[in-house]
Amino acid sequence: MTFEALQPKVIEITTNTTITRDEKLLKICQLLEQNIVYYTWVGFYFANHETKTLHLGPYVGAETDHTVIPFGKGICGQVAVSNENFVVPDVAAQDNYIACSFTVKSEIVVPLFVNGQNIGQIDIDSNVLDPFTKEDELFLEFVNKEIAKLY
């Protein structure tokens, strides 16, 4: 399914008044993982600015031990500090990478802003080398803008 075709489905989930915010986040994870062939793991991390840590939220994919990540550590931790998208074409080439699974080859992390503050991020792993394009970034920015309306 194309990113363009997925956009109204994202809006349909975020505007559903019969489910909780966490249920909406999980449904978005499921939607993306099921419809974008190279999205292997899709999840959210949320920031605790007092402790400077990220905490795992809803996700789909392989179980992870990385439920709390310090700011600055790994790709997600770096995005918590930089406030910028981070696309990793080959995780093996990254020094500051936290391995979740030996099958993961690439990663994209896009920050989630609410009222100008980075409150978390969407994190996507792929078992394919270098699959992420500018279109992925733009689509995930759209997803996060829709999610931001929930806060």
Q: What would be the CATH architecture of the domain defined by 3-148?
A: 2-Layer Sandwich (3.30)
Q: What is the pTM of this model?
A: 0.94
What's the one-letter identity of residue 140? L
- In whole angstroms, give the CA distance from residue 91 to residue 123: 13
Torsion of CA 32, 78, 147, 140, to 10 degrees: -40
Beta pairing class for 117-126 and 106-114: antiparallel
Which sequence spans correspond to the domains of the chain?
A: 3-148
How high does pLDDT run on average in the chain? 94
- pLDDT tens-digit map of 57-77: 999 999 988 899 999 999 999
Q: Residue 100: pLDDT above 80?
A: no
